[in-house]
């Protein structure tokens, strides 16, 4: 093995669950006449909307396409600004840029790493069009305050809830808290369609615009034209092919039924990690706000190197060597080369996110992860902290 080849971790940080009922659902579609733009797409959208407390949901090819479509739907144009946190996957900011918009990075709260409403307020200019909140790790943002700010300044409130399917705030599900809420179904997310995404909304107009954008800016699909016995169609705006297949949506429907049990499982495993840190000072879980039902897409801790006696890089490499697929979510987007060169962003812009980036570590968390494995991960972490110079690792039974 060459030096730069890295061994595949044996325990990933995130992982899908597929069972026989999922497989049967997909195969059923493959045996049918509808592979795309058919009944399973509509059914997935209908059930999904109900699940997340929305009236409309539009399924798309992936979460990034869903974000892009949301930016189209709000009428984002060249020079329009969207305020978002830097502690997110690059796709959140990229979607703004794809519509010609300018991403304006506002800092996060130090305890939760969620978008800080005061920082949002301070970033508003006459060009601000929208707030794009990110439910980092699966915890809903402070939507009550963000809603007040959005209303006061006439802004659209969009949620990147790719981490937060199944989460809620004071009993209201994520999907009902913003004007548009975006979800993704990549295999590491709460449910999977392989690749897939969704925008949920309470606005029929936003939903219509997203459907238009999903289908080349054409007002009808080929099924609608067949029903009306016409070959004519109107392309009224520039759009994409961001459609999703019926077999993906059949998988999504089958997965959605298991979401509540999977969220409970993620919460229980997260609690198991969190309890362990009581005897491991220097490992600090993120704060969870009052009234939050957390979806725990990620289990993130902050590592205080001065307390632990070892730093994040050391822990990261030793855990990886032990076969534990830890990860770092995320390098702040404003520090990415593309954003530095295109928008002149750089260090100092969001000091809270930048400081957090030096300390954060995502530990494995997914529904099929066993309690014993969580305990072994905790023990391995403990052993590395206690013997920082040795490479020794406790055995996995």
Ligand X SMILES: *Cc1c(COP(=O)(O)O)cnc(C)c1O
Position 91 contacts ligand X (CB under 6 A): yes
Nearer to ligand X (CB atom), residue 104 or residue 182:
182
SS in 3 state form for 89-138? Answer: CHHHHHHHHHCCCEEEECCECCCCCCECHHHHHHHCCCCEEEEEEECHHH
172-173: strand order across its sheet: 172-173, 168-169, 292-293
Nearer to ligand X (CB atom), residue 70 or residue 212:
70
CB 98, min distance to ligand X, A: 12
Write out the binding residues for ligand X, residues 40-59 only, by CB under 6 A.
none
Write out the binding residues for ligand X, residues 193-252 only, by CB under 6 A.
197
DSSP string, 146-211: HHHHHHHHT-EEEEE-TT-TT-EETTEETTSSSSEEEEE--TTSSS--SS-EEEEES-HHHHHHHH
Q: Which of 63, 140, 173, 332 binds ligand X (CB under 6 A)?
A: 63
Position 64 contacts ligand X (CB under 6 A): yes
Please give the size of the binding site for ligand X, defined by CB under 6 A.
15
Residues 6+ apart with CB under 8 A from 8: none
- Cα of 287 vs its chain's centroid, Å: 18
Q: Are strands 128-134 and 156-160 parallel, antiparallel or unpaired?
A: parallel
Query: d(Cα 213, Cα 209) in Å, to the nearest integer?
Result: 6
Given the residues 129, 170, 189, 386, the one annotated as active site: 189
Active site residue 258: no
Nearer to ligand X (CB atom), residue 92 or residue 380:
92
CB 41, min distance to ligand X, A: 17
Q: Which of 89, 213, 296, 299 binds ligand X (CB under 6 A)?
A: 89
Nearer to ligand X (CB atom), residue 9 or residue 187:
187
Position 266 contacts ligand X (CB under 6 A): no
The footprint of ligand X (CB under 6 A) covers 62-64, 67, 88-89, 91-92, 134, 160, 162-163, 184, 186, 197
Q: Catalytic positions, please?
A: 189
């Amino acid at each position: 093995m060459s030096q730069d080849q890295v061994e595949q971790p044996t325990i990933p940080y995130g992982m899908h669950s597929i069972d026989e009922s999922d497989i049967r659902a997909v195969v059923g579609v493959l045996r049918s006449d509808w592979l795309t733009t058919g009944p399973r797409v509509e059914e997935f959208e209908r059930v999904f909307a109900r699940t997340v407390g929305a009236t409309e949901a539009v399924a798309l090819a992936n979460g990034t396409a869903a974000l892009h479509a949301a930016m189209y739907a709000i009428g984002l144009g060249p020079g329009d600004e969207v305020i978002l946190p830097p502690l997110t996957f690059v796709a959140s900011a990229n979607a703004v840029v794809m519509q010609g918009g300018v991403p304006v990075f506002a800092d996060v709260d130090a305890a939760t790493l969620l978008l800080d409403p005061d920082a949002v307020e301070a970033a508003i200019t006459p060009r601000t069009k929208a707030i794009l909140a990110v439910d980092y790790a699966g915890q809903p943002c402070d939507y009550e305050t963000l809603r007040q700010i959005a209303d006061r300044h006439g802004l659209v409130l969009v949620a990147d809830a790719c981490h937060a399917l199944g989460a809620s705030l004071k009993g209201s599900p994520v999907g009902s808290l913003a004007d548009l809420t975006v979800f993704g179904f990549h295999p590491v997310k709460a449910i999977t369609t392989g690749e897939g995404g969704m925008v949920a909304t309470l606005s029929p107009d936003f939903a219509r615009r997203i459907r238009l954008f999903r289908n080349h800016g054409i007002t009808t699909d080929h099924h609608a034209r067949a029903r009306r016995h016409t070959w004519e169609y109107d392309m009224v705006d520039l759009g994409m092919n961001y459609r999703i297949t019926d077999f993906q949506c059949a998988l999504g429907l089958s997965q959605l039924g298991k979401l509540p049990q999977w969220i409970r499982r993620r919460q229980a495993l997260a609690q198991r990690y969190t309890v362990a840190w009581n005897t491991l000072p220097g490992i600090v879980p993120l704060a969870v706000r009052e009234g939050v039902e957390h979806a725990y897409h990620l289990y993130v801790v902050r590592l205080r190197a001065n307390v632990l006696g070892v730093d994040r890089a050391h822990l990261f490499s030793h855990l990886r060597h032990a076969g534990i697929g830890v990860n770092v979510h995320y390098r702040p987007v404003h520090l990415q080369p593309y954003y530095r060169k295109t928008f002149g962003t750089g260090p100092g812009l969001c000091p809270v996110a930048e400081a957090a980036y030096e300390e954060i570590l995502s530990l494995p968390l997914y529904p099929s992860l066993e309690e014993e494995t969580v305990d072994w991960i905790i023990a391995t972490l403990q052993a590395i902290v206690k013997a920082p110079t040795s490479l020794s690792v406790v055995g996995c039974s």
